[in-house]
Amino acid sequence: MIQTDNAYRDITVRFPAQILIGKNTLGKLTDEVVAAGHSNVLIITINVLLATLDPVIQTLREQGINVHINTSIIQEPSFQDFGSLLRSVTDKPVDVVVGIGGGSVLDIAKLAAAQIDNTQTLNEITGIGLLKNRRIKLICVPTTAGTGSEVSPNAILIDNADNQKKGIISPHLVPDVVIIDPALTYNLPPDITAATGLDALTHCLEAYTNLFAHPFIDMYAYEGMRLISASLVRAITNAHDETARTQLAIGSLLGGFCLGPVNTAGVHALSYPLGSMFHMAHGLSNALLLPYVMEFNIPAAPARYADVARALGVNSGATDLNTAYAGVDRIRELIAQCGLPARLGEAGINRAAIPAMAADAMKITRLLKNNPRTIDLADAIGIYEAAY
């Protein structure tokens, strides 16, 4: 059950100092850099965005600002990837880091801003609250509506030593400035729009049903679920639907607010092995497991999952259990409408890998401890089998 004695526990919420939201707000990036007096900018992004960013980059250079561009992050990043990036900028003066891209790019940008002049090694800051400081300004501009990395204190990397996804969680990773420009998401392919949108939905849903759910975070989680469920299919069917794209972007932002004080739970813990073992995109791995973990959890928190169903647009049934399970049906319907696979087998996962996946998932204790119902090794295997 959701523990009522946790409802008003002490929490600390750290928001960025400034959040700019609106179509074409990317143009304000130059103003932010110039007004702060910065002279050396490191932009971490991806190649496909360079044409879009060219006017901003040229304006910065016309203002006499040195702009260094790094596009080395092309998939979910590893410790090795980050080390290579960091070595490539050690001889370049940097007083502000700008991350423009999806969650992987933003996570790396956050770490770069912290580590460029930090004596702590990456291994020394891996974990919760171990990063001691960040001296370089950090600006994040998401180009997907999904990870919430633009406002979260989290960065996730794959450790090459054991192939496990590991988190660096620190208040120093919360950006100083966030720019939410829905127009940057117009050209996202439908499958990426779907997967990242369902990732954001999962952040909100797992925060709301979390063992350590908190009323202050509930309001962000509930509204995030409502906005994303109402807009995701519209954004997929009409990529330039400004209202839908804006609602998705705000929903992702709200999901990011949930990640620090409450965080995610069983869905994310069980999805990590899909990324580390099969290099599956994080959003898709969450979407594949979400309805099955929901079904597993509902008996432990029927009232909370009934609220989830209502946030998803489901009418109340005769009981909380009826309503909660109707919410699972709504999630399955949403996944189908998004055109994503509904089962692990459809996504190319080898059934023989399930025991190893379950064993890996058991290592993600920082998330499993949040789940409203205890998940042991046998339970994890059962959930994967159900999802197969």
User: What integer best gives the mean pLDDT of the chain?
Assistant: 94
Last residue of a domain, one of 167, 185, 203: 185
Domain boundary among 169, 185, 201: 185
Co-location of 175 and 192 in the same domain? no
pLDDT band at 6 (very low <50, low <70, confident <90, very high): low
What is the total count of domains within the chain?
Answer: 2
pLDDT at 5: 58
Q: Is the dihedral of CA 223, 226, 232, 237 positive or negative?
A: negative
Domain-embedded: residue 234: yes
Domain of residue 231, CATH code: 1.20.1090.10
Q: What is the pLDDT of residue 1?
A: 42
Whether 162 and 268 map to the same domain: the answer is no
> Does 181 share its domain with 246?
no
* Residue 8 lies inside a defined structural domain of this protein: no
Shared-domain flag, residues 64 and 120: yes
44 and 173 both lie in a single domain: yes
Rg (Cα) of the chain, in Å, rounded?
A: 20
- 73 by Cβ neighbours in 10 Å (0-12 / 13-18 / 19+) ranks as buried
**Residues 95 and 123 grouped into a single domain:** yes
Same-domain pairing of 174 and 49: yes
Percentage of the residues of the chain whose pLDDT score is greater than 90: 89
pLDDT tens readout for residues 109-146: 999 999 998 999 999 999 999 999 999 999 999 999 98
* Same domain as 140, residue 36: yes
51 within some domain: yes
Do residue 44 and residue 114 come from a single domain?
yes
CATH number of the domain residue 107 falls in: 3.40.50.1970
pLDDT for res 163: 85
Cα gap 242→289, rounded to integer Å: 30
* Residues of the domain holding 245: 188-387
**In a shared domain, residues 201 and 150:** no
Q: Looking at the domain assignment, is residue 9 inside a domain?
A: no
The answer to whether position 10 is within a domain reads: no
Coil/strand/helix, residue 100:
strand
Q: Which amino acid does the sequence have at 234?
A: R
Q: What is the DSSP string of 178-240?
A: EEE-GGGGTTS-HHHHHHHHHHHHHHHHHHHT-TT--HHHHHHHHHHHHHHHHHHHHHHH-TT
In a domain, 153, yes or no: yes
Answer whether residue 336 shows pLDDT above 60: yes
Confidence band of 323 (pLDDT split at 50, 70, 90)? very high
Q: How far apart are CA 203 and CA 184, in angstroms?
A: 22
Considering the domain architecture, whether residues 34 and 141 belong to the same structural domain is answered as yes
Residue type, 290: L
Q: Which two tokens stand for residue 303?
A: 């009232």
More confident residue, 145 or 224: 224
Task: Decide if pLDDT at 212 tops 60.
Answer: yes
For residues 360-371, give the mean pLDDT: 96
Whether residue 323 contacts residue 341, with contact meaning beta carbons closer than 8 Å, is answered with no
Task: Verify that 216 and 140 share a domain, yes or no.
Answer: no
Task: Among 128, 156, 185, give the residue marking a domain's end.
Answer: 185
Is residue 3 pLDDT above 60, yes or no? no
Q: 253, 197, 188: which is closest to 221 by C-alpha? A: 253
Give residue-wise pLDDT tens across range 17-36: 999 999 889 999 999 999 99
Q: What integer is the mean pLDDT of 271-291?
A: 93
